[in-house]
Amino acid sequence: MFSSANSRRVLRLTVALSALALALGTAGTAQARPGVSTAIIDTARGDGNVVSFTFDDGPNPADTPRLLDVLRRHHVKAVFCLQGDQVEQHPELVRRIAAAGHTLCNHSMHHDDMSTWTPEQIAADLRQTSAAIRRALPHARIPYFRAPYGAWGQSPAVAASLGMQPLGWRLAIADWETPGTDELVRRLEEGITPGAVVLMHDGGGDRSQTVDAVDRVIPVLKSRHWRFTLPETGC
């Protein structure tokens, strides 16, 4: 018969082994929350000529307010992929984006390449970014995550486990090249295909050309019976 001391040792050992088994069984896995998946979405909702406009690296006081005015005037809703350090500098713009009915996206804290990061490092950054957004806008809904540079690494699974759908794109117009408004309009008109998620920028530099191009191309697309929708979710 075991003594009470031996029984306590066995109990402690059993608990420790159970905890180890649980840790080994879950290490390296990230379970997507209901309503999201680990798939990187690049498709707009709906059928036919639908398109989603998304804007990265803001908010930026030089260009984001004018972009918001353009989208309001044309009755278009978009996704704004917010960079955490920009959010901390310009929280009033986060509130203005949300008040205008646009959708928020986590775009990391400092726009770092996460492709070689561990899941723990990625999760810490995404949580820090979402916390910054929610300091600016308490209870903000953040349904998407976009990896800086499209360097995804292990971030899709981590983002999905935090309730954010990984958001990619079908068309990037390379507006960081600042090739001129006419060229950006051409890239949009010729590059958009049915269901495309389009990557543009309202931050990270002078984005006045992008804002001007968006202002010009929306009426053209609407005249051709295009509809502006949000990106799909993975489920």
To the query of whether residue 56 is one of the catalytic residues in this protein, the response is: yes
What tens digit of pLDDT does each residue of 58-67 get? 999 999 999 9
pLDDT at 17: 33
pLDDT > 90 fraction of the chain, expressed in percent and rounded:
83
228: left (phi over 0), alpha (psi -120 to 50) or beta: beta
Domains located in the chain, CATH noted? 50-228 (3.20.20.370)
Give the number of other CB atoms < 10 A from CB of residue 121.
16
53: left (phi over 0), alpha (psi -120 to 50) or beta: beta
- Predicted structure pTM score: 0.86
Q: Are 16 and 194 in contact (CB under 8 A)?
A: no
In the numeric block, which tokens belong to residue 214? Answer: 């968006």
Mean pLDDT of 11-38: 50
Mean pLDDT of 115-119: 98
Mean pLDDT of 72-93: 98
Rounded Cα gap, residues 91 and 59, in angstroms: 8
Mean pLDDT of 157-181: 98
From the candidates 42, 56, 57, 202, give the one annotated as an active-site residue.
56
Res 13 pLDDT > 60:
no
pLDDT at 33: 79
Res 32 pLDDT > 80:
no
Q: Across the chain, what does the average pLDDT equal?
A: 89
Mean pLDDT of 27-41: 76
From the candidates 63, 125, 201, 212, give the one annotated as an active-site residue.
201
Residue-wise burial string across 141-175, b where 16 or more C-beta atoms lie within 10 A, e elsewhere:
ebbbbbbbeeebbbbbbbbbbbbbbbbbbbbbbeb
